Structure 1
Amino acid sequence: MNKAQLVFVPGPGMGHLATTVEFAKLIVNLDDRLSITVLVMNLPFDHKVGAYIDSLSASTSIPETIKFINLPQGNVEKGVRPMNFLISFMENHKPHVRDAVHKLTHSDSAGSLSPRLAGFFIDMFCTTMIDVANEFGVPAYLFYTSNAGCLGLMLHFQGLRDKHELDTTELKNDRDAELAVPSFSNHVPARVFPDVILDENRVDDIFNFVRRFRETKGILVNTFAELESHAVSSFSGRDRTPIVYPVGPILNLDGDVSNGGSGGSDGNADIIKWLDDQPDSSVVFLCFGSMGYFGESQVQEIARALENSGYRFVWSLRKPPPKDKIAMPTEYEDFKEVLPEEFLDRTAEKGKVIGWAPQVAILSHRATGGFVSHCGWNSILESIWHGVPIATWPFQAEQQLNAFGMVRELGLAVEIKLDFKRDLTGGNNEMKVSAEEIEDGLRKVMEHDSDVRKRTKEMSEKSREALMKGGSSYFSLHRTINDLIA
């Protein structure tokens, strides 16, 4: 039997790593001729990755054909801009990836030959590793952890930038501009573009990443054809674009270790027990991802909206990191320091304010009826899988584009905001969403017989069918595997 091994190089951070691990599990479970080694890069300020890898190594859910190698951290200059930090971080890991793959491809001490190296699967921010794949004479595939609409937009504007010198940063302050993008059926407002292509300090770097996408043999996207039919079909016949394979939804549904943070199983059990006592679809869940946090004035507006709406709620409230520091949100010692006076007492029967949230467990619970989300792509896919409609509140990166797609393109979400963007300068320029706007979004997302709720339930079924034998994503995965082993 023709055995082959693959090298996976996920981007740093839990969101990219956890999805990549689930993708690796899917691949080896589909074909027992394949083995996978995941090369793990550890960010110096993110301590959850080590704990996550330890838990995977001890887990019976990980097949023996998947191995993990923690790469040396390397020296990275501190105090630089985040994009420069990321580029330096990747370049410093290049020799470590090369050394790890060299060891994998040589016989062991007993003289046993290793399975043939068939290819690299790299993250969207790891395109420099294409050079390493080329050195070993194997193809590189891109595993794109966001959606097809965003991929299409990034490739479209990178192409226009190279051919026609289009400068997307000129659109930064034009809130009325709307542009045609092949991967969207509607014109896309510039105000929801990913912030990196509007920022003169980062635009060159991000398009350097995107340009190299075209050097890969194929792009595997964490989506499914039934969800993004227009975006997926838009890639057919496009000049210099590798084959795009929709292979999702790829989700970590076994547990919540990938969401990071503390909280502990006892706290999780208390939340689930409380949900057990609530009526079906009666609870709105507010959770804003691993980087989600608000200042005190915005927290007060959310609290007022929740109290005025009267809905039952679970609210994941995280403490902002220190200003001017790259760090993760932390936990409040006492929520009363930011919440309105006596809010917790007045809402004690109606809701729960918690720190880190077991997101999958809450979304999958029968009592959860709506989800106020930052619109990270993993969170969107989880909400669709469990049939829970979203109210959109994006912060950064491509989240505004995701929110636009869900509300305007797909009709699978309601809007609190589409274009909210966090002020990363440390100043006081961040827009504030009023209690009235939030409450309006809560009422829309919790409406029992809404079209959005019905469409979300229908898409939930399609998301599961896509991965079943004969489904659209199942077919794409087999097509990829056959290309690798042929």
Structure 2
Amino acid sequence: MEATRELIFIPLPAMGHLNPAVEMAKRTVEREGRISITMLIIAFPFDKISSYIQTLAADASIDKRIKFLVLPELENLINNSETFYFQLVDAYKPVVKKIVQDRVIGPESTRSNSASICGFVVDMICAGMMDVAKELNVPSYVFFTSGVALLGLMLHLQTLRDDHGVDVTEFNDPDTELDIPGFRNPVPLKVLPSGFADKSACTLIFNLARSYRKARGILVNTFMELESDAIRSLSEDAGIPPIYPVGPIINLNLQNDGGAGVSPDERDSISRWLDSQPPSSVVFLCFGSKGSIEVDQVREVADGLERSGHRFLWSLRWLPANGEKLTPREYDDFEGVLPNGFSDRTASVGRVIGWAPQVSVLSHPAVGSFVSHCGWNSLLESLWFGVPMAAWPMYAEQQLNAFKLVVEWGLAAGIRIDYVWDAWKKSSNVVVKAEEIERGIRRVMDGGENEVRNKVKQMREMIRKSAVEGGSSYAWLGDFVEDIFENSMK
């Protein structure tokens, strides 16, 4: 019997990264019976990580070749800055090395001849863990949970600084446009991730980019038919490791789809409400697990929805004026922030909820459009179900994603693609007015078979074909598995 190969997955302990990493592990072992995976989960007592891992551990449908190992929690780690995750990764390096040596590799006298560690697969933010893999003399692959466009942007701007002395943080005009390989249009500075405007943050980003260049390969949660220009651009650069576009890597489990904050009764209630609506008639609004808006903005959204005249399901996450951070259970007192009489006037056509079971909602035939923050996972889910988007990015790389959707691909209408929500300052750069919101909704909802809706329908067919046998992503996953075995035999 041929020896099996063991991969060590190290995901970032954040739902938008952990969930795709788990799905990537599932996809890998389904594809290749000689691979087993140990997922090292960095302890993180925030968000829904702990309950999510418990759910995974109890999920009988997950192949037993995937093992979840939660690392011990470290003391004196405070989540109070944008650099926290980088500090977290550095702090866990010695822990990971010892765990892998003691519990995965084991002492030499007890090692089995039937399995061997063939590589680390590290999250895009956990690239520092490649140092541990190097010390253990095993190769590293990066799992890039966003799109190739962001990867190309990071590598290009890092090259401009290192090789040409061009520092993007010194550009002052937000309307400055950059020519970026893999983009069909000049990219305005105002849609770059906010970290590129800050020297210390930019240093961390470029350190990541330099690490990526040392990887054996980069797995990207995208597919060829969506990002062909950017994929070809990177693949032609000899200074960049092989790119494996293996997406879409998304969780399509309707019972465990990121709506962990939704009770079974509420989930059923939302489903029944959607069942009572006409096909493609509902506007779904959701800004992600970390997306919040201020009270003034809540009222503009409500006004824009009412003016549009369309049915709606609104996952409302609002922030009070004092800036106090809310937990999901504290978002259910909506009447204090909605305009007077709004609930009564829209009772027959709309519903306001807290946490949303997003995949369940997007898969429902009543949903006709998605007002989205353009997080990469949400973008892929929306395309998978053929739901056109109205783009309203919040943070991280979402403005860049929105630019790609609206300007490059024509797969979304823009509401305000340069909107920025600062999670640390708990404020935004602008209040988007009701007129803009109404206009964005009408672009994707009115006129029946409009251009955006037709393009999304076409992309729905492409994204689904890419993941099955004969599809582009299916082939790239096979190339990745082949590389694992070829390299381990050396």
TM-score (norm 2): 0.95
* Aligned-residue offset at 1:452: 0.8
Map 1:196-215 → 2, pairs under 5 A: 196-215=195-214
Whole-Å Cα distance in 1 between the matches of residues 24 and 420 of structure 2? 30
SS in 2 for 1:337: coil
Q: 1:428 to 1:184 in 2, by over 3 A?
A: closer
**One-letter identity of the residue aligned with 1:18:** N
Q: 1:423 to 1:133 in 2, by over 3 A?
A: closer
SS in 1 for 2:314: strand
Alignment partner, residue 457 of structure 1: 457
**One-letter identity of the residue aligned with 2:293:** F
* Aligned-residue offset at 1:346: 1.1
Whole-Å Cα distance in 2 between the matches of residues 343 and 379 of structure 1? 28
Whole-Å Cα distance in 2 between the matches of residues 365 and 136 of structure 1? 48
* Aligned-residue offset at 1:12: 1.7
Q: Is the 8 A contact 2:300 2:433 kept in 1?
A: yes
Q: Is the 8 A contact 2:283 2:371 kept in 1?
A: yes
Q: 1:71 to 1:437 in 2, by over 3 A?
A: same
Q: Is the 8 A contact 1:40 1:69 kept in 2?
A: yes
**One-letter identity of the residue aligned with 1:191:** K
* Aligned-residue offset at 1:330: 5.0
SS in 2 for 1:463: helix
Alignment partner, residue 258 of structure 2: 259
**One-letter identity of the residue aligned with 1:462:** M
Q: Is the 8 A contact 1:323 1:426 kept in 2?
A: no
**One-letter identity of the residue aligned with 2:23:** E
Whole-Å Cα distance in 2 between the matches of residues 325 and 457 of structure 1? 41
* Aligned-residue offset at 1:422: 1.5
Alignment partner, residue 354 of structure 1: 353
Alignment partner, residue 34 of structure 1: 35
Whole-Å Cα distance in 2 between the matches of residues 225 and 425 of structure 1? 35
Whole-Å Cα distance in 2 between the matches of residues 392 and 402 of structure 1? 9
Whole-Å Cα distance in 2 between the matches of residues 17 and 428 of structure 1? 27
**One-letter identity of the residue aligned with 2:401:** N
TM-score (norm 1): 0.95
Structure 1 unpaired stretches of 5+ = none
Q: 1:444 to 1:468 in 2, by over 3 A?
A: same
Q: 1:423 to 1:136 in 2, by over 3 A?
A: closer
**One-letter identity of the residue aligned with 1:64:** K
For the aligned residues, what is the CA RMSD? 1.9
Alignment partner, residue 291 of structure 1: 290
Alignment partner, residue 20 of structure 2: 19
CA offsets, 1:192-232, max 9 Å, x none? Answer: 01111112231111211121110100001000000111111
CA offsets, 1:37-56, max 9 Å, x none? Answer: 1111132332x111111111
**One-letter identity of the residue aligned with 2:12:** G
Of 455-464 and 321-330, deviating more is 321-330
**One-letter identity of the residue aligned with 1:71:** L
Alignment partner, residue 399 of structure 1: 398
Whole-Å Cα distance in 2 between the matches of residues 2 and 400 of structure 1? 46
Alignment partner, residue 162 of structure 1: 162
Q: Is the 8 A contact 1:38 1:66 kept in 2?
A: yes
Q: Is the 8 A contact 1:275 1:365 kept in 2?
A: yes
* Aligned-residue offset at 1:237: 2.5
Q: Is the 8 A contact 1:319 1:331 kept in 2?
A: no
Number of equivalenced pairs? 483
Map 1:101-112 → 2, pairs under 5 A: 101-102=100-101, 103-106=103-106, 112=112
Q: 1:273 to 1:29 in 2, by over 3 A?
A: same
* Aligned-residue offset at 1:240: 1.4
Q: Is the 8 A contact 1:223 1:249 kept in 2?
A: yes
Of 280-289 and 414-423, deviating more is 414-423
Whole-Å Cα distance in 1 between the matches of residues 249 and 113 of structure 2? 32
SS in 2 for 1:118: strand
SS in 2 for 1:284: strand
Q: Is the 8 A contact 1:287 1:372 kept in 2?
A: yes
Structure 2 unpaired stretches of 5+ = none
Q: 1:304 to 1:322 in 2, by over 3 A?
A: closer
Runs of 4+ in 1 over 3 A off after TM superposition: 107-114, 255-258, 321-331, 423-429
Q: Is the 8 A contact 1:331 1:356 kept in 2?
A: no
Q: 1:131 to 1:428 in 2, by over 3 A?
A: closer
Whole-Å Cα distance in 2 between the matches of residues 165 and 180 of structure 1? 16
Map 1:40-119 → 2, pairs under 5 A: 40-46=41-47, 48-78=48-78, 80-83=80-83, 85-102=84-101, 103-106=103-106, 112-113=112-113, 115-119=115-119
* Aligned-residue offset at 1:73: 1.9
